[in-house]
Amino acid sequence: MDPALMQQVAALAMGTVEKALDAEIDKMDNLGEEDFARIRKERIEQMKQAALEKEAWRRNDHGVLTTISDQKEFFEAVKRSKRVVCLFYRDSNKWCDVIGNHFTVLAEKHMEAKFLRVNAENSPFLVERLNVWMMPTIICCKEGKVHRQFNGLDEIDPTGKFETASLEFVLHGSGMLDDTPLVDKVLQRQDDASDDELDD
């Protein structure tokens, strides 16, 4: 594309963004008492809903890593929670322990998802039904259906560091977790690395 044309397109886009931003600022500057009361009422209602949702999660054993022993427990958990992150593990696999420790940390931080672990050797039906062929395997379920599956660790963290933040970032990117400061840190590190590559 012609550089001059690219500059014109960029300037046009920037002008559109600036106009929209100016309109939003003008709208905020002209809010009256009724507008503030409405916004406050809406925010209080959102906070009440969030508190009720958090309490429902707590009653449903969110916030802890739960070990389940059979497929019945697995399917019941998937039905009761909108988001379920399940680790299939073997006791003899050290990486399963590493991911299990990260799951414990993430379960405490992310009440919005239910974290489970299943011993693959004791659950042949689930292993076959969900096509679990590598340890560890992470199955992500949303709204009662398998949403994403990670076999092994390459997709989780190809660097081999396997930090909690890396797993959190991948699960966030898969729509399983809400935003967090750790995800923001990982994104910042990626931006910094991209800037460094551009400087070279």
Digit-coded pLDDT (tens) for 130-185 = 999 999 999 999 999 999 999 988 888 777 777 888 899 899 999 999 876 555 56
- The residue ranking higher by pLDDT, 35 or 85, is 85
Burial environment of residue 141 by CB neighbours within 10 A (0 to 12, 13 to 18, 19 or more): buried
- The residue ranking higher by pLDDT, 192 or 129, is 129
Orientation of helix 164-173 relative to helix 181-199, angle to 10°? 90
Kindly list the domain boundaries of the chain, sorted by start residue: 32-61, 62-188
pLDDT value of position 157? 79
CATH of 62-188, picked from 3.40.30.10, 3.30.70.360, 3.30.710.10, 3.40.50.720, is 3.40.30.10
Beta strands in 43-178 (DSSP E): 65-68, 83-89, 114-119, 137-142, 145-151
